[in-house]
Every structure is written in C-alpha cells, then in structure tokens.
Amino acid sequence: MSHHRTSRCVAAAATALAVAALAACSVPEPEAEAAAAPGVTDTTVTVGTHQPLTGPAAAGYSSISAATKAYFDYVNDKGGINGRTIEYVVKDDGYNPATTQTVVRELVQEDEVFAVLNGLGTPTHSSVLDFLHQNEVPDLFVASGSTGWNEPETYPNTFAFNADYVTEGAALGQYAADELTGKAACVLGQDDDFGTEFLEGVELALGADGLTDVQTYSVSNQDVTAQIGAMKAAGCEVVMLATVNGFTALAIGTAAQLGWFPRWLSSSSGGDYPTLVGFLGEENGPKLLQGFVSTNYLPMADDEWVELFRQINDDHNGGAPFDGNTIYGMSVGYLFAEALAMAGEDPTRESLVEAIESGKLVGNGVVPLAFGPDDHAAFRGVGITMVNEGVQDFVGTTYSVDAETVEAVEPQPVPLENEGVPAP
C-alpha cells in the first residue's frame, strides 16, 4: 500500500517540478521596459518574416528570404546601419495560414522582433494582420500584390511593397490598348483575389466589355488544357495572365502544343524569364517566350543595382541562382535598411513607422515610392518589360495607376549610391 502512495507522491512532485520548469523558462517580461524598442540593442536590430519554405507554394518563393538575408550580411559587413547589424529571423509557414499564426506569434512573443518584414502570401498574411496590429508591431513591405495592405485607418502599422494586382492589370490592359490595338484580349487568372483584382485592373483600362473571354484556373489542378482550348476557340489574340510562374509556363506550353501562339502579357508574379525557361526547357523556352510581355517595378537586366546584387549574391548567398526573386529580396532589404537609417540613432517602433510615412524614402524602383500618412502602398505604377532574344528588359513604357485612370509616365530609376548601403 505504501508503495503506491510513495509512487503517487513521486509522480505529483515530478509534475510540479515539470510545471515549474516550464514556467521558469517562460517568465513573462514586465510590460514597461520591452515596449519601446523590442528587438533593438546597442549593436543589433532583429527583424523577422514568415515565408513558405516548404509546401506547394515554396517552389516559387523560397529563395527570396535567402536573398534578403544575403543583402543584410553585406550591409553588416560594411558596419551595419547606425552601428547596428541587422539580424533576420526567417520562419517557415508552408503557405498555411494556421502555421503563419503560430510562427508570427513566435516571432513577436518569443524572438521579440523589432518588426515583421516582407511577410509572404495573401491568405497567410491576412490571418496575422489583427495580431500584429493588436501588438503594435510594424508590419512592413508585405510580399503580396493584394490591395489589403494599404489600409492606414484599420492597420496603421502595415505597409505594402508589391505593386498591387489592380495596378498591374491596369498597366497591362493599357499597354494592350495602346500597342496591340484592335486585337481580341482575354484574361486567364487564378481563382482567388489575385485573379479577381487583376481582372479589375484590366477592366479599368479596357472597360468592362473590352474582353473577349475570361478563364480561371485553380492551383490544385495542374491541367489548363480546357481553359486554353476555350480561349483559342474564342479567338483570343492577346492573353493577359494572372498566374504564378508554374502556371504561366503551363499555359504557354499547353497553347504551343495546340499550335496556338497568342501574345502573352503576364503579371510580375508569374513573369520571371529565368524561372519560365526553367519550366519550359532551355531549348523551347527562349523561342516560346519571344515577345513575352510582363511588368516590373524593380531594376532589371543591365542596371548598376543588378550588378551590385549579383556581386552580393556571389559573396553572401553561396552563389545561388540569380533571378527576379533575388533582386526582389535584396530590394526589400535595401528599403528596410533605408527606413531603419531614417528612424534615427535610437530607433523605436514609432520612429520606424514615422520614417516610412514621412514620404522621404526613395527605394530603388523605377517608379517613385508613394508612402505617406494616408497611403501605405509602395509602388503605384509599373514599367512594361519584354523578352527579346533571350533578354528580358524594360521597353521604356511606364504606367501610373490611381483609382480611376491609367497614365503613361516617364520611368524614374534611382541611381545607385553609397554602394547600396543607405546612409542615415
């Protein structure tokens, strides 16, 4: 009998000890101290992100965070910003909103990051908007073209980065109207906000009845033969794509198999030339992509920024493949570094947000940044790019889009200064 009593006492003691240990290694911090500048010490600044490193969406995006990290390593080697090195904590959410919730909570409550940077994905990031807002964490430069990040009233700490899908659709639609006048235009879009907002933009430029056919596809079904067949039958000559890279390739490839070669105009999300060649093959890719039109708002091809980024990629990113994602990741890093520098010698979360809203950030895009107290969108216009003989570059046409109109403007690329390290 006493045997059992002893063992029960032992069990109870063990449980108590375990609970105490668990509690001890997770003592909540007193509110006051940590509030002002969590993640900032005299020598470091820590920022975090959630990215799909695994899972079905990873294929297109897993290289972005590595590129951003490489850029931060470069800046840290040059002394950092205001004497502080930038630490980048990257957490995998597998493009699953439930996991995003968990990892973002880890970032804010466990890793105590200064800000969340470049959170990727529309469904994933939407699920953490409220949490970040409630905890007053700066939510910078979301990696998604949804229009939902530009809501200063509801989410004053959230800032967009990508030119949104409406802007892209409008720019491509206007380009079709200007350069491919009279040709029957169609849209193939993803069956979610990406597709619907892109279509909205196209209709802004071409009018609600300016399209001959509209098709949608679902990422869960890797067969677009039916949709391509339908557009071919409808007589489309210009096809605008709101597709991710894999499906852009699938669409172009399937159409080629059917002996159909319309003009392809794609959103930047699915318009990266090296990636598409990877899907279509070295042999057929360049031929099928001749004349391929897309959009971009960041530097590309023979640009001094691109050269710098290539160098950083070789030195700090283990020579990983260099493509649009690399330029994107490093540009995001640059913009953050610029904002951090402008946030002052002793940055706080408030001063960081103020710096961005001041409108004085320059960035490195071909279109000026639109940040302001009432506007949390970064790029309100895009440049048109085309593939010619295996090289994808700007054609010089740039469009600026606002609520009602699409206007052709002059591109305003930012010259490279201070070797790509922002000065305070």
Partner 1 sequence: MDRLVFLLATGVARGAVFALFALSLVIVWRAARVVNFAQGAMAVVAVFVAFGVTAATGSYWLGLGSALLTGAVLGVVVERGVMNHVPAGNPLPGMIVAIGLVMVLQSGLGMLFGPQHRPMAAPFDERPFQVGGVPVLSPYDVFVLVVAVVVMGVLALLFTRTSLGLQLRASAFAPEVSRLLGVRVPRMLTIGWVLSSAVAALAALLLVPTELGLNAHSADMLFVHAFTVAVVGGLDSPVGALLGGLVVGVLMTLVTGYLGATVAPVAVLVLLATVLLVRPAGIFAAIEARQA
Partner 2 sequence: MNRVLPQVTGTPRILLGGLALAFLGIAVTFVLDPYRNYQLAIVAAYFCATAGLSVLVGLTGQLSLGHAALMAAGGYGYALAASLVDGMADGGPGTSGDEGTSVVRVLAGLAGAVVVSGVLGLLLGLAGARLRGPYLAGLTLALVIALPAVTAVLRGVLGGDQGLRAPYEDVPPALERLVALEQWHAWIAILAASVAATGLVLLRRSRAGLQMRAVHGDETAARLSGVPAGRVKVVAFVASAVSAGLGGAVLCLVTQSVSPGAYSLAFSLLLVVAAVVGGLGSLGGAAVGSAVVVLLPWLIESVTTALDLPADLQQRLSGNLAVLVFGALLVVVTLAWPGGAAGALAARRAARSQQPPLTER
Report the residue number, 69 or 349, with the smaller CB distance to partner 2. Answer: 69
Report the residue number, 99 or 266, with the smaller CB distance to partner 2. Answer: 99
Report the residue number, 245 or 313, with the smaller CB distance to partner 1. Answer: 245
Give the binding-site size for partner 2 (rule: CB under 8 A): 40
User: DSSP label at 30?
Assistant: P
What is the β-pairing status of strands 381-388 and 391-401? Answer: antiparallel
CA separation for the pair 126, 147 (Å, rounded):
11
Residue 10 contact, options partner 1, partner 2, none, Cβ 5-8 Å cut-off depending on partner type: none
CA separation for the pair 343, 351 (Å, rounded):
5
DSSP 351-420: HHHHHHHTT----S-SS-B--BTTB--SBSEEEEEEEETTEEEEEEEEEEE-SS-EEEE---PPPP-GGG
Residue 414 contact, options partner 1, partner 2, none, Cβ 5-8 Å cut-off depending on partner type: none
Using the CB atoms, write b or e for 125-163: b if 16+ within 10 Å.
Answer: bbbbbebbeeeebbbbbbbbbbbbbbebeebbbbbbbbb
User: Binding partner 1 by CB under 8 A: which of 180, 256, 320, 416?
Assistant: 256
Q: Which of residues 95-154 bind partner 1 (CB under 8 A)?
A: none
| Nearest C-alpha neighbor of 214 from the set 177, 232, 188 | 188
CA separation for the pair 203, 182 (Å, rounded):
15
Is 102 a binding residue for partner 2 by CB under 8 A? The answer is: yes
User: Binding partner 2 by CB under 8 A: which of 30, 182, 259, 318?
Assistant: 318
Paired tokens of 160: 């967009």
What mask of x and - would describe binding to partner 2 in positions 4 to 43, judged by CB under 8 A? Answer: ---------------xx-xx--xxx---------------
Strand partners, 120: 143
Q: Which of residues 206-225 bind partner 1 (CB under 8 A)?
A: 215-218, 220-225
Report the residue number, 124 or 385, with the smaller CB distance to partner 1. Answer: 124
Is 191 a binding residue for partner 1 by CB under 8 A? The answer is: yes
Paired tokens of 194: 């990406």
Nearest distance from C-beta of residue 215 to partner 1, angstroms: 8
CA separation for the pair 294, 175 (Å, rounded):
10
User: Binding partner 1 by CB under 8 A: which of 227, 267, 294, 296?
Assistant: 227
User: Binding partner 2 by CB under 8 A: which of 41, 218, 222, 290?
Assistant: 218
Residues binding partner 2 (CB under 8 A): 19-20, 22-23, 26-28, 53-55, 62, 66, 69, 92, 94-99, 101-102, 105-106, 109-110, 122-124, 126-127, 130, 134, 191-193, 218, 220, 318, 320
Residues binding partner 1 (CB under 8 A): 53-56, 58-59, 62, 191, 215-218, 220-227, 229-230, 233, 246-247, 249-250, 256-259, 278-281
